[in-house]
Amino acid sequence: MKKPNIVVVMADQLAPQFTGCYGHPVASTPHIDALASRGMRFDAAYCNSPLCAPSRFAFMSGQLISRIAAYDNASEFKSSVPTFAHYLRLLDYRTCLSGKMHFVGPDQKHGFEDRVTTDIYPSDFAWTPDWEAHDERIDKWYHNMQTVKESGMAQATFQIDYDDEVGFAARRWLFDRARDKAQNPQASPPFMMVASFIHPHDPYVARPEWWNLYSDDDIDLPAYVPPIEAQDAFSKRVMDGIEASTIPLTEEEVRRARRAYLANVSYFDSKVGQLVQTLEETGELDNTIVIVTADHGDMLGERGLWYKMNFFEHSARVPLIMAGPGVAHGTAANACSLIDLLPTFIEIAGGTKDMLGEPVDGRSLMPLARGEDDPVDEAIGEYCAEMTPYPVIMIRRGQYKYIHCDFDPPQLYNVVDDPLEKHNLANHPEHAVTAKAFAEEIAARWNGEALRQQVIATQKSRRALAKAMQTGNLEHWDYNPPSDASQQYVRNHMDWTVTAERYRFPPTETPD
């Protein structure tokens, strides 16, 4: 049986609530919607840590961040941790990364055979937080409300430059695989590509053609913003950290940010469409499982919060759509998360659990993708980064979500009946048994004090290393994609007619 290709199109900070197929009334996402209309839409998919690098390391390893010490945006992703790219190579796949994965450390490939762009963020330890001063505002590289206030329209940004490069490089790589196959069909393995874009991540700035898809009248304001005195303890610290508690926003500023965000969601959707079109043009679409997802969501003013860094629905949930051979058309209600994708890829590729080099925390989602029953209805999240002195743990199981931090009162929500999470049921008498069971499970599975000490130890180490790396001759880890101009396009040592035929796709038909 022919192994299907796998193409993952990943957004950054895309909350599913702001796409058409997940029910937003005005979001223009025709290409994502088209995939959902012929595939499986997962309606309770979560990230495992609501921050870029930790979420992506969990996604790639199939392991929770506490297992691999992937605590924050300056945690090293150790080269000894097996990733789905390693496993798929063992299963004879050609693997490629185009775009962002926020790898931190000297290993900037983590199993990908090809990497065709650099990353957009630094790969060193400079963004290390300090849990021994968790309540101190970080200035140089941390979020603040000025980002929201500057939302709007522009012709170019570093994010637009980056995503245009990512999309072009991904499409060219797909055409190269088609050219290889045309030259030698028997020596062309299946491929797995991750095309990872930075949009719609803040800054909320969009090009005119996407901005003009919407009008101010289209844009709704946040559905629920509790008064600051009613915020939970962790949300108060996050609001202080991003200055949302001290710098007020006007309705116009909020509306403008949400409009630009939707515009950039549509921009990302266009990239999905271009990649699907390329798969169609190369004859690979019918044999490719296409997956659209994100590393986390964006609060975008809901509950008075912005960006991510919490386990409320707009921050912690991600879109997850699968379409392709063997995938049914429908929706899956079971809770799941990004760590489930590694075992999913292994099943798609024909691998088995006995090939795993390390235990994984996820399960394959292929039963759900095929429309079958799955007894597991669970997602686990851990947050060990800024604005908290202790780990924040989330368990989503069935209709309930439980959030725990040793430093804060517990939170329990019925997210099915209360999707805006207005009512904390943790101390409600009718839910005492449920809350107690979650609390006991947390105590049994996590040692908050021990994990805190591990986090602080790595923070001290990384801050010292960050200072040292800025002293003397600097040696950067940032990925520099290989490029040899002497082998590109037409050169004097080549027969240009042979080169032209090599680049042409489909190739010229040979007369019988």
Per-residue pLDDT tens digits of the chain, which is 512 residues long: 689 999 999 999 999 999 999 999 999 999 999 999 999 999 999 999 999 999 999 999 999 999 999 999 999 999 999 999 999 999 999 999 999 999 999 999 999 999 999 999 999 999 999 998 877 766 665 778 999 999 999 999 999 999 999 999 999 999 999 999 999 888 899 999 999 999 999 999 999 999 999 999 999 999 999 999 999 999 999 999 899 999 999 999 999 999 999 999 999 999 999 999 999 999 999 999 999 999 999 999 999 999 999 999 999 999 999 999 999 999 999 999 999 999 999 999 999 999 999 999 999 999 999 999 999 999 999 999 999 999 999 999 999 999 999 999 999 999 999 999 999 999 999 999 999 999 999 999 999 999 999 999 999 999 999 999 989 888 899 999 999 999 999 998 988 888 888 899 999 887 66
Under DSSP, the state recorded for 136 is S
- Provide CB contacts within 8 A for 303, sequence distance 6+: 222, 224, 225, 226, 231, 235, 312, 421
Q: Over the range 133-161, which residues count as b (16 or more CB within 10 Å of their CB) and which as e?
A: ebeeebeeeebbbebbebbbbeeebebbe
Element (H, E) at 401: strand 400-405
Q: How far out from the chain centre does Cα 282 lie?
A: 27
Q: State the Cα–Cα distance between residues 444 and 166, nearest whole angstrom.
A: 43
pTM higher than the cut 0.85: yes
3-state secondary structure 218-230: HCCCCCCCCCHHH
Cβ atoms 278, 328 nearer than 8 A = no
**312, 340, 357 from 403: Cα distances, Å:** 9, 21, 31
What is the torsion angle, in degrees rounded to the nearest 10, for the CA atoms of residue 430, residue 436, residue 437 and residue 440?
Answer: 170
Residue type, 283: G
Residue 460's CB is within 10 A of a number of other CB atoms, namely 14
| Measured distance CA(225)–CA(303) in Å, rounded | 4
> Is residue 52 among the annotated active site residues?
yes
**Type of residue numbered 311:** F
Rounded to 5°, angle at Cα 94 from 88 and 98: 100
Cβ-contact 453, 390 below 8 angstroms? no
DSSP 9-48: EEEES--GGGSTTTT-SS---HHHHHHHHHSEEETTEE-S
For 274, the token pair is 């271009």
- Contact of 311 with 330, CB cutoff 8 Å: no
Walk across the sheet containing 40-42 and list its strands: 114-115, 94-99, 191-200, 5-12, 288-294, 320-323, 40-42, 330-332
Ordered structural domains, the chain, with CATH: 5-391+446-485 (3.40.720.10)
Q: Measured at the alpha carbon of residue 418, what is the angle toward residues 413 and 423, in degrees to the nearest 5?
A: 55
Please report, in angstroms and rounded to a whole number, the separation of the first and last CA atoms in the chain.
30
21 is catalytic: no
User: Catalytic: which of 21, 31, 96, 102?
Assistant: 102
**H-state helical runs in 62-142:** 65-68, 84-90
Give the CA radius of gyration of the chain: 23
CB crowding 374-403: b at 16 or more within 10 Å, else e: beeebbbbbbbbbbbbbbbbbbbbebbbbb
Q: How far is CA 173 from CA 83, 117, 279, in A?
A: 21, 11, 11
Catalytic residue among 21, 52, 336, 405: 52
Angle at 310 between CA 33 and CA 301, to 5 degrees: 65
- How far, in Å, CA of 203 to CA of 261, rounded? 9
Helix boundaries (H) for 320-447: 341-348, 366-369, 432-445
The encoded tokens of residue 224 equal: 């629920």
3-state secondary structure of 205: strand
3-state secondary structure of 381: strand
CA angle 67, 72, 78 (to 5 degrees): 50
Length of the chain: 512
Measured distance CA(472)–CA(466) in Å, rounded: 12
**Residue in this structure with the two tokens 């986390």, named with its chain if needed:** 296
What's the confidence (pLDDT) of residue 140?
A: 62
